[in-house]
Chains A and B, each alone.
Chain A
C-alpha cells in the first residue's frame, strides 16, 4: 500500500507529465489544443498511476479496471474529437448524451446491483427500478457535463472549469478513501493532478477555452463518486455535494456576478468550488471519526494513513 510520500510523488508525476505534454502541444496548430489536453490528461494519469503501481487487469473484472481501461480512454477520445474544428454542435451533444448514459452501466456491470448473482431476481435493483436509476444517473452526468461545457465557452477561461474539476476530483478522492474504498479513492488523486497540470500550464501560456476539456474531468468525478457510493460506503449527501461543487464555477456567469471582470469571476467561481468541496470532505472526515470512535478502536483522531495501512 503506498505511503503518503508515494501518493505525493504520483500527484507530482501526473502534474508534471500533463504540463509537459501541453507545453509540447503548443507547437501544434491551436485548433488541436483539445487533442493536446486529452493526451496530457491520459499521459499524466498513466504516469501518476504508474508511480502508485496501479495495474488495471485485462479483461476488466472490477470497477477500477473498467474505469481506467474503458471509460476514461473512451471519454478522452470523445472529448478530444468533440473539440476539433470539424465537430458539429449537434453531433457533440448526441455523443455527450450517449457517453453519459453509458458510464454508470459500464462501471456497475456484473455487480449485484444489476446482475442476478444470487439466483434469478436477486439483483438489488430490479429491472423496473434499475433502468430508472441508470437513466437518472446518465441524465445527471449529461446535465453537469453540458453546464460545464457552457461555462467553459461562456467564461472563455482555460483554468476555471478544469481546475474546478481537479479540486472536486481531489476532494472526491479523499472522501472515497475515507469511505471504505482506499484504493479507488487513491487512484483519483493522480487523475485530478493530470487535470490540473495541463490547465495550469495552458493558463500560464494564455490559452483559451479551446484548452479546456470538461468531459474527462466530469466523468472522472462522476465515476469516483459512483464507485465510492456503490462499492464503498460514501454517503449520498456527500457524493451529491461533491458532484455539484464544480457546477458552482458557472455561478459567476450569471447576473449580477457576470458584471465582474473575468479574472475576478474565475477566482470567485473557484472559491465557491473549493468551499463546497471542503464541506463535503469535512463531513466525510467527521463521519469517519465518529464511526471509528463508535467502534472503540482508537481514542485519538484517525488519519488517512491509518486507514491506508489497514489498521
Chain B
C-alpha cells in the first residue's frame, strides 16, 4: 500500500513537472496596458526633440522558452490616443498632415520571425503605419519572468527602433517635423 502511494506521488510529481515544462515552452501573455509605454520622439526643425506617446496600446504575445522561433508578438497602438502634452498639436498630428487617424486609426506590429539574441530576442515583423506595411527588426531586451503581484505571472521587454516616416507615406512638413522618428517600446505581459 505504501509502495503504491509512493508510486502515485512520484507519478503526480512527474506529471506536474511535465505540465509546468510544457507551459514554460509556450507561454501566452496579454499586454498589460498599465505597464506598457510607446513613446516616440521627432525633431522639431532641428532645434530639439518633441516627445509623444500612445496611451492606448494593446496586444498579446507568446514566448516559447525552449524554441524561440515559435514565439510570436502582436501589438496595436491606437492613433487617436496620441498625446504630446499639447491638445492643439495632438489634433494636428491626428490630421492627414501626419497620422490621418480617421483613415488609418491603428499602428500595428505583427512578428514574422523570432530568434535568440545576446540581449534577449530578435524579432522581425511587419509594422503597419499610416496604412503602409514594412518589415522592421526589433531587438527585445529583457524577458525576466516572475510573479507580481502574487498570483500573476508576468514578463516584460523593451526595445527602441528608428524609422523614416516618409517611407510610410507620412511625408508632409519635412523638415519642420523631422523625417526620422525614434520609437521606444516597453511592455509587460501577464500570463493568460
Contacts and interface: CB of A to CB of B under 8 A. Distances in A.
Interface of A: 1, 57, 61-64, 110-113, 117-118, 180-184, 227, 230-233, 291-292, 294-295, 297, 307-311
Contact of B92 (A62, A113, A180, A230): A180
B100 A62 contact: yes
A110 B95 contact: no
A311 B102 CA distance: 23
Given A232-B91, A311-B44, 12 more contacts: A1-B173, A1-B176, A61-B169, A110-B103, A118-B105, A180-B97, A182-B173, A231-B95, A231-B96, A307-B92, A309-B176, A310-B177
Contacts of A110: 103
Given A292-B88, A295-B88, A310-B176, A63 B96 contact: yes
Nearest to A110: B103
A288 to B, nearest CB: 8
A181 B95 contact: yes
Nearest to B174: A1
A62 B169 CA distance: 10
Given A57-B169, A118-B106, A295 B86 contact: yes
B102 A181 contact: no
Contacts of A231: 95-96, 100, 102-103
Contacts of B87: 291, 294-295
Contacts of A310: 44-45, 92, 173, 176-177
B116 interface: no
A291 B90 CA distance: 12
Interface string B108-131: 000000000000000000000001
A291 B103 contact: no
Given A57-B169, A182-B92, A291-B88, A112 B177 contact: no
Contact of B86 (A62, A63, A233, A297): A297
A1 B171 CA distance: 10
B103 A181 contact: no
Contacts of B164: none
Interface in B122-179: 131, 169, 172-174, 176-177
Interface of B: 44-45, 86-89, 91-92, 94-97, 100-103, 105-106, 131, 169, 172-174, 176-177
A311 B86 CA distance: 11
Given A182-B92, A292-B88, A310-B92, A63 B106 contact: no
Contacts of B177: 310
Given A180-B92, A295-B86, A310-B173, A62 B103 contact: yes
A45 B177 CA distance: 27
Nearest to B172: A183
B170 to A, nearest CB: 10
Contacts of B100: 62, 231
A291 B88 CA distance: 7
Contacts of A292: 88
Given A1-B172, A64-B96, A310-B173, A180 B91 contact: yes
A63 B44 contact: no
A112 B86 contact: no
The CB with the most chain B CB atoms within 10 A, among A57, A111, A180, is that of: A180
A233 B86 CA distance: 15
Nearest to A113: B102
Contact of A112 (B88, B91, B105): B105
A220 to B, nearest CB: 17
A184 B45 CA distance: 21
A294 B97 CA distance: 23
Contact of A180 (B86, B95, B131, B172): B95
